[in-house]
Structure 1
Amino acid sequence: MSRLLARIRSRIEARTATWARPRAPEVLPVRFNRRRIYVLPTGFGLFFAALLAAMLLGALNYNNNPALLLALLLAGAAHTGLFAAHLQLSGLSITAIGAEPVSAGKPLQLRVHARAEPGRERRGLRLACGEHRASLSLDQGSGEAVIELPTQCRGWLEPGRLRIWTTRPLGLVVAWGYVWPDAPLLVYPAPETHGPPLPEGGGDRAIARVHPSGDDVHHLRAYRRGDSRRAIAWKPSARRNELLVREYEQPMGADIDLDWSLLGHLPYEQRIRRLARWVDDAERGGRRYRLMLPGQPALGPAQGASHRHACLKALALLPEGGGHG
């Protein structure tokens, strides 16, 4: 019976979702007011209402004043619980959402930040994005919920409407509301799992970086804790009366060109996946690289987190279905 009631309630909520506010994406922050909060009885609440009706009928039929008083007290408590559940959401604000980009196929951690008006304790808040749920805890008036969303395709991921609800304090009713953030999330292309190594660097702009295991002495510097004893320059140290350490210069290859046009023999999506893999390989190897895509200015040469993000974002937002040759 409880399952049937829960199924009926979920269908009612699904019907109300089509006309419930908001009806379009909205800019955050968003504050919940009485026009955005909806209340329905839970399965336990319907059972409690039926039991209360039976108590009232029995008390009136047998003219039992104590039973009538008890039924009225329980009805008053249920009515107060309805308003208390509504107040759990009233004044709540969803201030921002965000997520670190991930490669397609990996779960994306969606973080939802919320803030509430002070002076009211809020417990038992839950948040859902589709079928994925999380708890929303508010400590000292603010907090966040983390929902793990699956990803399948590169590009922008629209989280859709988020549902916030609670059954506190008595579990007799469920109060809920929606927020539809206009904040798409970026999903990088999935890198190729098995592919060729990085292409050779082009041009004659060979660069070098300081590395303790290099070949050519670059300069001397003061000793730091953790330096190898083999790197200590004993003679210069004796002349200066302080420990000096040799730093070496390790030659690196020239800048790497990751050129879309050189992968014309591969299918469209596989080109994107291979370039994504090469971007990650170049970052792991500490190499400077340049990404060249059709119809776009070249990115780089550079390296680092911001350059990697710019390159993977450009690959993720390429048109679907082979828009470029």
Structure 2
Amino acid sequence: MADTPRAAWARRFALLARPRQPETLPVQLDRRRIYVLPTRFGLFFAALLSTMLLGALNYNNNPALLLALLLAATAMASLIAAHLQLAGLRVEAISAEPVAAGSPLLVHVALAARDGRVRRGLRLDARDVHGFAPVLSGEGVVAQLSLPTQRRGWLDLDRVRLSTTQPLGLARAWAWVWPSTPLLVYPQPEPQGPPLPEGKGTGMQSRLHPAGDDVHHLRAYRPGDARRAIAWKPTARRDTLLVREYEQPLGAEVPLDWHSLSALPYEHRIRRLAHWVDLAEREGRRYRLALPGQPPLGPSHGAAHRHLCLRALALLPHAETR
């Protein structure tokens, strides 16, 4: 999709604006990187003031001339006020919890104002996505941006623009921040993927499962239980509706091996393994991930192990770059 003339002009202007390369956070905005220009309403206001001045001078109308000069002074003061809305603002950090490709990535932007002045009407723009920060005082605030994701791996934010049109909407002040830290996007799990491979290992564990093999115990009926799980004979003896709870034996370790999926295409293997990682976590299974050219991860389970496995899958080379 081709850019509009305004978007193309803004993109060319951004290449000349500071900063010109990625930078390490935190970053404080100073006068050298803040830009101020009139808004459309500001240009209309300037044209209106010019007409008032010409009319007042033409008809030698001193009250009208005084009013026009007062309004012009107010407009000039609004340019300075808009600049001060960003001056001294500090971008502390930009972070996001990784999500699967295709899901929106919620980016948190931590802002602070060490001088104690209150800022209002701050707007953030990144990758054609807009976000707004509430009233910012000395305590700081965290703004949010919901960015679309398409591919696994590192997501470069490019530039984030902070802008404001406060206090009168006559001028827009803005500044750019270019964080050097990319954000991680997990691979998209395979939808409706197969169950986990058979577990291996000498230790065994078990879990309650409605489709297990062995009856574990009887319990009271709960709404939503399957009718086939009702124990009718014990129910008749105790005059209370009872349900069978089954036990499913599980292997101590589930191997998730890249080479066992050689029949699948490259990216499909990654989605299959991501699906198995999520499935093993939901079922509380210990699993070990083996990828080409890397030492095995695990066996283990939990949030930290899941992140390590999905990160390793996300950072595998893309099929077109292999």
- Please indicate, yes or no, whether the TM-score normalized by the shorter chain is above 0.5: yes
Cα distance in 1 for partners of 2:59, 2:114 equals 48
Q: Residue in 1 aligned with 2:299? A: 301
Which whole-Å deviations, capped at 9, do the CAs of 1:70-120 have from their partners, x for residues lacking one? 111111101100100000000001100111110011111011110013332
**1:8 Cα deviation after fit:** 7.9
Which whole-Å deviations, capped at 9, do the CAs of 1:284-320 have from their partners, x for residues lacking one? 1111000000100000000000000000000000011
Whether 1:186 and 2:184 are equivalent positions in the alignment is yes
SS in 2 for 1:271: helix
Which whole-Å deviations, capped at 9, do the CAs of 1:31-66 have from their partners, x for residues lacking one? 110001001111111111111111111111221111
Q: Residue in 1 aligned with 2:254? A: 256
Q: Residue in 1 aligned with 2:167? A: 169
Q: Residue in 1 aligned with 2:44? A: 47
Q: Residue in 2 aligned with 1:265? A: 263
SS in 2 for 1:205: strand
Q: Residue in 2 aligned with 1:62? A: 59
Q: Residue in 2 aligned with 1:148? A: 146
CA change 1:11–1:151 in 2 (3 A) is closer
SS in 1 for 2:33: coil
Q: Residue in 2 aligned with 1:76? A: 73
In structure 2, what residue type is equivalent to 1:301? P
In structure 2, what residue type is equivalent to 1:24? Q
Q: Is the 8 Å Cα contact of residues 199 and 250 (structure 2) preserved in structure 1?
A: no
SS in 2 for 1:87: helix
Q: Is the 8 Å Cα contact of residues 118 and 136 (structure 2) preserved in structure 1?
A: no
Which whole-Å deviations, capped at 9, do the CAs of 1:138-178 have from their partners, x for residues lacking one? 44320011111111110001111001101111111110010
* Aligned-residue CA RMSD (Å): 2.4
SS in 2 for 1:313: helix
Q: Is the 8 Å Cα contact of residues 115 and 138 (structure 1) preserved in structure 2?
A: no
In structure 2, what residue type is equivalent to 1:86? H
**1:137 Cα deviation after fit:** 1.9
In structure 1, what residue type is equivalent to 2:49? L
CA change 1:172–1:216 in 2 (3 A) is closer
SS in 1 for 2:292: coil
SS in 2 for 1:253: strand
SS in 1 for 2:184: strand
CA change 1:322–1:293 in 2 (3 A) is farther
Cα distance in 1 for partners of 2:7, 2:196 equals 53
CA change 1:8–1:253 in 2 (3 A) is closer
Q: Residue in 1 aligned with 2:123? A: 126
Cα distance in 1 for partners of 2:122, 2:78 equals 15
**Structure 1 length-normalised TM:** 0.82
Cα distance in 2 for partners of 1:11, 1:127 equals 19
Cα distance in 2 for partners of 1:216, 1:42 equals 71
CA change 1:81–1:180 in 2 (3 A) is same
The number of residue pairs the alignment matches comes to: 286
Q: Residue in 1 aligned with 2:276? A: 278
**1:11 Cα deviation after fit:** 5.9
Whether 1:27 and 2:6 are equivalent positions in the alignment is no
In structure 1, what residue type is equivalent to 2:100? S
In structure 2, what residue type is equivalent to 1:281? L
